[in-house]
Amino acid sequence: MKSKGTIYFFGKEVFELLPIAFGERTYYEEVWKETEYTPDYYAIHYVSKEKMIVKKGEDVYTLNQGDALLSKPGDVFQLKTYENTQYLWIKFRGKTADALAGLPAIVKMDGTPLLNAIAHLSEDGVCEEYVVGELYRIVSGLLKTQVQKRDYVRTIKSLIHDHPTGNVSVQEIATTLNLNRQYMSTLFHRITGVSIQEYILQRRAKNACLLLSRGCSVGECATMTGYANIYTFSKAFKKATGKTPSDYIKESRKGISRKTRVKFARAEKKG
């Protein structure tokens, strides 16, 4: 293993993002190691050459060139590097760093800021202000990506809301947004806690509740929410709400369908 260019910072915490240390490593053989991060800093390992295998509990990730591992306070990882694996790393903390808490462990990122910092290393090191500037570029890029992902989720929800009968498929949504279906499905589930198909069914059931409470018959409601027949509609409605359409009608007329509304409110809150 070769390690070079490590710079440690011991300055006062005058920045909202404070670099603690950064550097570059090259491995010339396969190495497994377990790394536990202390409770007071974040770290990014950016793979600039070859690949790295990361284990976190039962989860196993492969980081290829251009991928990064984002570790958060208290994280424990096992890292496997390969022959000629090269990665750049930076440890940091600060108020702004806490905004990264909701990001996944493996992220795509622009490694230019880290490469710039390494390129400016000299025997005298590099000034802390320069590294802070590059660190802000990294964090800003990661947060921007997260905002884009949430925008995708909002757009997916909007497309579903535009089809109250549920006559829109996951593939149609992916084609409309020019996204890979698997990536889109994984992204939606990660942020909302439910699959796209589950969300579609929830929306159809919620629309059905509204129609039933307005006096529509079960048959009319089945047709208006896109079901082929009353049986299929009733089965889907009970699965989503825990009640049959007839029971819901009785409760809504008595003004006691509160539990159903709460259930849907909770499902919506995840998005």
Of 34-38, 127-131, 147-151, 188-192, minimum mean pLDDT range:
34-38
**More reliable by pLDDT, 254 or 135:** 135
CATH of domain 197-269: 1.10.10.60
On the question of pLDDT at 60 being above 90, the answer is no
Report the predicted TM-score, pTM, of the whole model to 2 decimal places: 0.55
pLDDT tier, 260 (very low <50, low <70, confident <90, very high otherwise):
very low
Across the range 191-201, mean pLDDT stands at 89
CA distances from 64 to 100, 107, 183 (A): 21, 11, 17
The C-alpha angle with vertex 33 and arms to 27 and 37, in degrees rounded to 5, equals 110
Across the range 175-200, mean pLDDT stands at 86
> Could you tell me what percent of the chain has a pLDDT over 70?
84
Domain boundary assignment for the chain: 2-122, 197-269
> Are 125 and 9 within 8 A, CB to CB?
no
On the question of pLDDT at 207 being above 70, the answer is yes
Across the range 238-260, mean pLDDT stands at 76
Across the range 162-173, mean pLDDT stands at 86
How far apart are alpha carbons 48 and 31 in whole angstroms? 17
Instruction: Let me know if domain 2-122 sits in CATH 3.65.10.10.
Output: no
> Are 173 and 231 within 8 A, CB to CB?
no
On the question of pLDDT at 209 being above 80, the answer is yes
Burial class (CB in 10 A: 0-12, 13-18, 19+), 168: middle
pLDDT for 266 equals: 42
How far apart are alpha carbons 77 and 223 in whole angstroms? 52
On the question of pLDDT at 126 being above 70, the answer is no
**More reliable by pLDDT, 139 or 40:** 139
> Could you tell me what percent of the chain has a pLDDT over 90?
14
How far apart are alpha carbons 188 and 216 in whole angstroms? 32
pLDDT tier, 270 (very low <50, low <70, confident <90, very high otherwise):
very low
pLDDT tier, 125 (very low <50, low <70, confident <90, very high otherwise):
low
Across the range 17-41, mean pLDDT stands at 79
CA distances from 98 to 30, 71, 72 (A): 33, 12, 9
pLDDT tier, 269 (very low <50, low <70, confident <90, very high otherwise):
very low
Q: Tell me the pLDDT of the chain averaged across its residues.
A: 80
On the question of pLDDT at 268 being above 60, the answer is no
